Amino acid sequence: MSRPVTYILLFLIMMIWGFNVIAIKILVENFAPVTITAFRILLAGVVVMLILGIKKEFRRVTRSQVVYITIGALTGILGHHFFLAVGLTATNASNAGLILGLVPLMTALAAILFLGDKLTMLRLIGILSGLIGVSFIVLNGEGSLGSISRGDFYIFLAVVTQAVSFIAIKRATETMDARLMTGWMQIIGAFFLFVVSAQLEPDGLSSLTTGTPVVWIVFLASSILATGIGHMVYNKAIHQIGAGETAIFINLTPFFSLTGSYLFLGERIMAEQLFGFLFIVTGVVLGTGAFEQSIRKHKKKRMAS
C-alpha cells in the first residue's frame, strides 16, 4: 500500500471511529449495555480471525504470548469497553468522544511509567495540556469537582484501561502479529464481558429482542467496520508509516465524535468542549512525541540535502 493510500484509509478509519462513539451510544440506550458490548466485541474478533484465516496468516501462540493476550483482554477489552458502555449511559456522546481523544496521550504516559520512555519538556507540556482539556469538558465550565458526572469519570477510566492494554500489546507484538493479538484479545475479552453481563444484567439477552432493524444495522457497522476491520487497518498503518504519524491522525477522532453527536443525536456543542478539544489536540501532538519526531525527520532531510 502506498503512503497516500495509507493516509486516506487512516482518515476514513478516524471518521468511522469518531462516529462509532455515536453508534455505541445508540446501542447502549437500546440494549443492556454490557451484554450488547460483549456481542459486538465477539463478532469483531470472529471477523478478524476469519480474515486472517482466509489470508493464511493465522498462527499458534506461545504461553508467554497468552499471558500478554489475557492482560490485554482484561484491560483493553473488559476494562475499556465495560467503562465505555456504562459511561455512555450516563454522559453524552460529544463528551465521551472528546475524552477518548486522550488515549494516545495516556498511552504515552503509560510508556513513560512502565517502559522507561523519556519524559521531555515538550511531552510534559503535552500531558498537562491534555489534562487541562479534559477539565474543560468534564467540569462544563462550572469550575467545581462536584460537577464531574459519573459517566465522564467512567469514560476517563476507559481511556486509562486502554492505555494500559497498549503496554501489553507492545510487549506481545514484539514476537507476534498485532492483528492476531487483536483477534484473540477480542474473543477472550468478549468471554469476560459475557461473564460480567450475566452477573450485572440477568435480563440482558432478553433486551436483544427489542432492537429495530436500523439499530441492528448500527450494531453490525460498529462491530465489523469500526471494531474489527478498523483496528486491523490501524495496526497495518502503524507498521507502514510508524506510530508517530498514525498518532497524529487520532486527533481527528474527537472532531468526528463532536460533529457526529451534533448531526445525529442533536447534542449541543458547548464552548467548553471546543476549548477542551483544542487543548487535547495540542496535548496529543506534544505528549506522544509526534511533534518532536517530525522535527527530527525534518532536520535529517535538511542535513541529507
Domain that holds residue 130: 3-304
Q: Percentage of the chain with pLDDT > 90?
A: 40
Grid coordinates representing 112 are 513513560
Give the C-alpha separation, 182 to 168, whole Å: 11
Confidence of residue 146 (pLDDT cuts 50, 70, 90): very low
CB 23 within 8 A of CB 212: no
Residues with Cβ within 8 Å of 129's Cβ and at least 6 positions away in sequence, in order, are 279, 280, 282, 283, 286, 287
Confidence of residue 145 (pLDDT cuts 50, 70, 90): very low
For range 213-221, the mean pLDDT:
96
**pLDDT for 143:** 42
CB 57 within 8 A of CB 252: no
Closest CA to 137 of 123, 151, 121: 151
Q: Is the pLDDT of residue 233 over 90?
A: no
Dihedral sign from CA coordinates of 252, 253, 259, 263: positive
Q: Which of 63-72, 275-284, 288-297 has the highest mean pLDDT?
A: 63-72
Q: Is the pLDDT of residue 141 over 50?
A: no
**pLDDT for 66:** 92
For range 116-134, the mean pLDDT:
85
Looking at the structure of the chain, the number of domains it has is 1
Q: Is the pLDDT of residue 165 over 60?
A: yes
CB 96 within 8 A of CB 87: yes
**pLDDT for 280:** 85
More confident position, 174 or 53 = 53
**How much is the mean pLDDT over the chain?**
86
Residues with Cβ within 8 Å of 219's Cβ and at least 6 positions away in sequence, in order, are 23, 27, 36, 39, 40, 211
Q: Is the pLDDT of residue 134 over 90?
A: no
**pLDDT for 178:** 82
